[in-house]
Structure 1
Amino acid sequence: MKKISLIVFFAISLFTATSCKNDVSKTEETTAEQKIETQRIISLNGAITEVVAALGHEKEIVGVDVTSTYPETVKSTAKDLGHVRSISVETVMELKPTLILATDKDLNPTLIENLKASGITVKVFSQDISVDGTKKLIAEVANTLNNNNYEKLQNDIDNDLAQVKPIEKTPKVLFIYARGANMLMVSGTNTPVDKVITLAGGQNAVSEFEDYKPLTPEALLQGNPDVILMFDSGLGSVGGPNGIFKIPGVDKTNAGKNKKIIAMDGGLLAGFGPRLGEAAVQLNTLLRENAK
């Protein structure tokens, strides 16, 4: 009888210990989930938003800037705060963020200082417009989120770039930034689009200056591009391809004569985020098709 009692005692003890262990495990899981739920992120850069989402933290994003267009679902779940130059402290504070991520490009220093003074954690990254710079940004954002699963994003860029195919005759590409027919700028060197054109196997038709300058008939004739490249939104703002062909000087270029216009998503083409390799492959494919 005493032996049976001991067996029952040990069985009950084992069951109780196992139950307690499971309860502790469940409590730890619940706590971890609560930490994720209470993280409220504001991303003030399109590339950063893409990185955060690609790392699995999209649901934690509560506010974004105007350049954050991908993934498309983020616009329906996070508040669009507009352009970083015009964002106010009050608008940001209304969202009760716990973490603000941004780059030093176009950022209002006063806004950042005021946000830091409020006690919110603010991380400002320096975004180098290059392949290595993009990989570095991915790693820095991931480390800020205590997420170590970022190497795949970096490797995906290399794997995509390896798919870029040679173009027999390097095409001269002119990128036109448009916001309506009265706001037309051309890209010189050292712009994000200029770098992607090179990665895709093309050559910028403009090499005389850096950054952007207003489009002129003289610049068109001097560059004489084989292809005109634009954002989808920019092409739409001038009325489509027919609107481009009406711009003085376009009809005198090889691109105008051969009706060669390429339009791509702006965030993809110029974002320099995790989809950088994808952007280069897409442009490379379109350039090769236009070369036929």
Structure 2
Amino acid sequence: MSLVPSLTEALFAFGAGGRVVGRTRYCTQPPHEVGRVEKVGGTKKVDLDRLLSLEPDLVVAVREENRREDVEAIVEAGVEIFLGEPATVAGALAMLRELARRVEAPRADVFLGRIEHVLRILESSRPERPRRVFAPIWKNPYMSVGGDTYAGDVIRVCGGENVFAGRGRYPRVTPGEIEETSPEVILLPDEPYPFSAADLPEFYALDVPAARSGRVYPIDGKLLTWYGPRMAPALMQLSAILCR
């Protein structure tokens, strides 16, 4: 059973999808295969009675997305749990490799090898001066990707410098503070807050290099936050955006 949308997708891609008996309502990938799997609530509000009734041998969770009390209740019920805590791209890769080992996934090496290949390319071709990047995840108030997060390390790996890396994990920031950091690129992910083209005017109104040079980009939020089979293309796509 998986309580993490990106890892649900990974289990199917790795060839273990046929053994997944439960998921959250946010686990929507791959769309055709995952539809047959029973739902057990959301990532933050798990229906524990429903979960236990499905008699899983292993529950997949991560500290970032799942509540501690739910994880503890699952453990207390005697169910084995796989608990990931990836804060870096390398850490996510290691977690995926361990998950594949635990579930004896037959096709994991193909995807993990692609990720490793892309990482070698990106780490060997990092720009001498990374572009300064602002990536909000919420508005009213603005909240930013901060340091010690997977998304923050994705920015680094792809050739960027997170302008709020030193402000904690997900700091609240003001328009004035954004201008003070002088981001050269602004990424507007469509999750968890659904930023879209409709939000562009307020960011282009900021007195920052990104606005003046036209480097404000609405993006698929999964590029920044999902670890799994889509990591290799996501890293390449973000690298291309940051290096334009």
TM-score range relative to shorter protein: 0.7 to 0.9
Q: Specify the structure having the higher radius of gyration (Cα).
A: 1
RMSD: 2.8
Residues 105-124 of structure 1, C-alpha deviation per residue, up to 9 Å, x if partnerless? 353344334434545x3223
Is there any run of 5+ residues in structure 1 with no aligned partner, and where?
1-41
- Structure 1 residue 229, shift from structure 2 partner: 0.8
- Structure 1 residue 271, shift from structure 2 partner: 2.1
Query: Residue 7 of structure 2 aligns to which amino acid in structure 1?
Result: I
User: Contact between 1:69 and 1:267, CA under 8 Å: does it hold in 2?
Assistant: no
- Give the whole-Å Cα distance in 1 for the aligned partners of 2:154 and 2:36: 30
SS in 1 for 2:70: helix
- Give the whole-Å Cα distance in 2 for the aligned partners of 1:47 and 1:281: 18
User: Contact between 2:134 and 2:144, CA under 8 Å: does it hold in 1?
Assistant: yes
TM-score, structure 2 length as denominator?
A: 0.83
Number of the residue aligned with 1:223: 181
Query: Residue 189 of structure 1 aligns to which amino acid in structure 2?
Result: G
- 1:244 is matched with which residue: 176, 187, 200? 200
User: Contact between 1:89 and 1:111, CA under 8 Å: does it hold in 2?
Assistant: yes
- Give the whole-Å Cα distance in 2 for the aligned partners of 1:242 and 1:115: 42
Pair 117,214 (structure 1): closer, same or farther in 2 beyond 3 Å: closer
Say whether residues 1:132 and 2:90 are aligned partners.
yes
User: Contact between 1:188 and 1:206, CA under 8 Å: does it hold in 2?
Assistant: yes
Number of the residue aligned with 2:45: 86
- Structure 1 residue 285, shift from structure 2 partner: 1.0
Runs of 4+ in 1 over 6 A off after TM superposition: none
Query: Residue 246 of structure 1 aligns to which amino acid in structure 2?
Result: E
- Give the whole-Å Cα distance in 2 for the aligned partners of 1:219 and 1:45: 33
- Structure 1 residue 84, shift from structure 2 partner: 2.8
Pairing of 1:247-266 with structure 2 (within 5 A):
250-266=205-221
Pair 208,117 (structure 1): closer, same or farther in 2 beyond 3 Å: closer
Say whether residues 1:280 and 2:235 are aligned partners.
yes
- Structure 1 residue 186, shift from structure 2 partner: 1.2
Pair 81,194 (structure 1): closer, same or farther in 2 beyond 3 Å: same
Pairing of 1:39-118 with structure 2 (within 5 A):
42-65=1-24, 68-118=27-77
Residues 41-64 of structure 1, C-alpha deviation per residue, up to 9 Å, x if partnerless? x20123422331122122332322
User: Contact between 1:188 and 1:194, CA under 8 Å: does it hold in 2?
Assistant: yes
Residues 81-129 of structure 1, C-alpha deviation per residue, up to 9 Å, x if partnerless? 443331121232344434322223353344334434545x322323232
- Give the whole-Å Cα distance in 1 for the aligned partners of 2:67 and 2:206: 41
- Give the whole-Å Cα distance in 1 for the aligned partners of 2:131 and 2:207: 17
- Give the whole-Å Cα distance in 1 for the aligned partners of 2:142 and 2:28: 22
- Give the whole-Å Cα distance in 2 for the aligned partners of 1:232 and 1:75: 22
SS in 2 for 1:173: strand
Pair 187,109 (structure 1): closer, same or farther in 2 beyond 3 Å: closer
User: Contact between 1:175 and 1:193, CA under 8 Å: does it hold in 2?
Assistant: no
- Give the whole-Å Cα distance in 1 for the aligned partners of 2:144 and 2:89: 23
Pairing of 1:168-247 with structure 2 (within 5 A):
170-178=130-138, 181-233=139-191, 237-238=194-195, 240-246=196-202
- Give the whole-Å Cα distance in 2 for the aligned partners of 1:64 and 1:78: 7
SS in 2 for 1:125: strand
TM-score, structure 1 length as denominator?
A: 0.71
- Structure 1 residue 66, shift from structure 2 partner: 5.3
Pair 162,251 (structure 1): closer, same or farther in 2 beyond 3 Å: same
- Give the whole-Å Cα distance in 2 for the aligned partners of 1:125 and 1:93: 17
- Structure 1 residue 70, shift from structure 2 partner: 3.3
- Give the whole-Å Cα distance in 2 for the aligned partners of 1:110 and 1:232: 28
Is there any run of 5+ residues in structure 2 with no aligned partner, and where?
none
- Give the whole-Å Cα distance in 2 for the aligned partners of 1:159 and 1:266: 23
Say whether residues 1:161 and 2:161 are aligned partners.
no
SS in 1 for 2:104: coil
- Give the whole-Å Cα distance in 2 for the aligned partners of 1:207 and 1:146: 36
- Give the whole-Å Cα distance in 2 for the aligned partners of 1:222 and 1:66: 40
User: Contact between 2:15 and 2:105, CA under 8 Å: does it hold in 1?
Assistant: no
Query: Residue 70 of structure 1 aligns to which amino acid in structure 2?
Result: Q
Query: Residue 59 of structure 1 aligns to which amino acid in structure 2?
Result: G
